[in-house]
Amino acid sequence: MKPSHTLLSIPEDLVSRARYIDAIRPYIGKQVIKVFTGQRRVGKSYLLFQMINCIADLDHQATFIYINKEDLRFDFIKNAHDLSEYVLQHLSEKGKTYLFIDEIQDILDFHTALRSLHLHENLDIYCTGSNANMLSSDISGYLSGRFIELTVYSLAYTEFLEFHGLIDSSISLDKYLKYGGLPYLRHLPLEDEIVWEYLKNVYNTIVYRDIVQRFNIRSTHFLERLVLFLASNTGSLFSAKKISDFLKSQQLNMAPNQVQTYIGYLLNSFILLAAPRYNIQGKRLFEIGEKYYFENLGIRNAIWGYRLEDRGKILENVVHNHLRMLNYSVKVGVLGNQEIDFVAEKHGEVLYIQVSLQLIEEKTIEREFGNLLSIKDNHPKILVTLDSYTGNTVKGIQVKSLAEFLLIEKFH
């Protein structure tokens, strides 16, 4: 059944992102607010459309209310009162009403409206937001236990292949690593000049709307230089003080607390993802030091460049992101003076991941396998490399090419 709404136009060419729809499906019609968060342009709006179609097939009497804060037709909804009044005016007197709000963080004090609307048993609420802090500070305290959050990421490699009608190959993999997985790229020729221009515009929109406007930043110069520094040092371990000291050496005075604040803004807007350090033996997090990765490699490459010498950083970034897409909590492992690239955990299941660009030199092989073998437990250990390998495990350690690793939907 095709849903109808005077201000709702659902695109005909939706490509299903089943992992997210399947995750939300059990909560359809339940008295819990469904919140999709993620970086701008990762496809949250299209997931709302897919949810609307899904619900229309399940509930033929459904009434839909759709609000898109990027659409000027909804500009009159500026605050919680406006939102509540509009929704109550359009509630159905018969059956269930399904409310969809896109980019809800643009409505002042929206959380108070959600708390009030949540009291209506025949109202099922779905919303999207492009700021992580929206949940931790603006919703959690007001709606504790009344909402679920689902983080939406850029396309996984398998999704990228489907969206672009490609098969797995070295050329397809290079396109993914180079251009990233923003869904709209399927409508553009995958050519440098065209893609870079689009991605730079997306980046500028995020910086201006989700950081500069929201946090009243007067000058973007320091922020942009910080992003470039992190792009050039993707996956490196830095403290705010070390970053501050480096910027000072470049005649940019930014105090450590300001560096930390700006990094927080980048994390909240999902430009960056953080992996904290974790003591494997002591089973505790370190208080200082994180690694930062870009949510979308295409944006990183658009503002910094796609450089041959950065292949190792890009490889590590995409492995980290794939683990996050599969809903793992990802940390950087520390064992004595050794480092394990990633410790991934989900539902008590642990994976140890080491990433190596190539396994040619004997010293590299000894180091990468040695670090994993030094972990004295029986959790799975995987070494990911650009090299292809079809042999058995190496002392129980699985060796997977990057393409093989990115095609995995579930680890056993």
Domain membership of residue 320 (yes or no) is yes
Task: Write the pLDDT tens digit of every residue in 53-70.
Answer: 999 999 999 999 999 999
> What CATH number has the domain bearing residue 91?
3.40.50.300
Task: Write the pLDDT tens digit of every residue in 244-262.
Answer: 998 888 888 888 999 999 9
| Cβ proximity of 33 and 127 under 8 Å | yes
Q: Which of 122, 151, 180 is the last residue of a domain?
A: 151
CA distances from 276 to 236, 279, 287 (A): 12, 10, 8
Task: Write the pLDDT tens digit of every residue in 203-238.
Answer: 999 999 889 998 899 878 899 999 999 999 999 988
Q: Which of 151, 181, 209 is the last residue of a domain?
A: 151
Q: Which of 151, 185, 216 is the last residue of a domain?
A: 151
Task: Write the pLDDT tens digit of every residue in 73-108.
Answer: 999 999 999 999 999 999 998 899 999 999 998 999
Task: Write the pLDDT tens digit of every residue in 357-378.
Answer: 887 777 778 888 888 989 988 8
Q: What percent of the chain has pLDDT over 70?
A: 95
Task: Write the pLDDT tens digit of every residue in 306-344.
Answer: 999 999 999 999 999 999 999 999 999 999 888 999 999
Higher local confidence (pLDDT), 4 or 139: 139
Domain membership of residue 95 (yes or no) is yes
* Residue 225 sits in the same domain as residue 97: no
Domain membership of residue 381 (yes or no) is yes
* Residue 378 sits in the same domain as residue 240: yes
Q: 177: how many CB neighbours lie within 10 A of its CB?
A: 20
Give the model's pLDDT for residue 133: 67
Average pLDDT over residues 32-40: 93
Q: What percent of the chain has pLDDT over 90?
A: 68
Sign of CA dihedral 36, 328, 337, 405: negative
| Cβ proximity of 240 and 261 under 8 Å | no
Sheet holding 338-346, edge to edge: 237-238, 284-294, 272-279, 329-335, 338-346, 349-356, 381-385, 398-401
CB burial class (10 A; 0-12, 13-18, 19+) of residue 370?
exposed
* Residue 181 sits in the same domain as residue 116: no
* Residue 124 sits in the same domain as residue 167: no
Domain membership of residue 5 (yes or no) is no
* Residue 164 sits in the same domain as residue 78: no
Domain membership of residue 9 (yes or no) is no
Domain membership of residue 13 (yes or no) is no
Residues 18-45: b if buried by 16+ CB within 10 A, e if exposed: ebbeeebeebbeeeebbbbbbbbbbbbb
Give the model's pLDDT for residue 289: 81
* Residue 302 sits in the same domain as residue 396: yes
What is the pLDDT confidence band of residue 49, given thresholds at 50, 70 and 90?
very high
> Is pLDDT above 70 for 135?
no
* Residue 176 sits in the same domain as residue 220: yes
Number of domains composing the chain:
2
Is the whole model's pTM more than 0.85, yes or no? yes
Report for 144-148, 213-217, 298-302: range of highest mean pLDDT: 298-302
Task: Output the DSSP codes for 153-165.
Answer: -SPPHHHHHHHHT
Give the model's pLDDT for residue 171: 97
* Residue 272 sits in the same domain as residue 390: yes
Q: How far apart are CA 266 and CA 226, in angstroms?
A: 10
> Is pLDDT above 70 for 5?
no
What is the pLDDT confidence band of residue 155, given thresholds at 50, 70 and 90?
very high
* Residue 254 sits in the same domain as residue 137: no
What is the pLDDT confidence band of residue 303, given thresholds at 50, 70 and 90?
very high
Task: Write the pLDDT tens digit of every residue in 381-392.
Answer: 999 999 887 777
What is the pLDDT confidence band of residue 1, given thresholds at 50, 70 and 90?
very low
Average pLDDT over residues 302-308: 96
Give the model's pLDDT for residue 296: 98
In degrees, to the nearest 5, what angle opens at C-alpha 295 toward C-alphas 226 and 186? 125
- What is the chain's mean pLDDT, rounded? 91
Cα 138 vs. chain centroid, distance in angstroms? 19
Average pLDDT over residues 139-154: 82
What is the pLDDT confidence band of residue 136, given thresholds at 50, 70 and 90?
low
Helix (H, G, I), strand (E, B) or coil at 148: strand
The whole domain housing 61 covers: 18-151
What is the pLDDT confidence band of residue 40, given thresholds at 50, 70 and 90?
very high
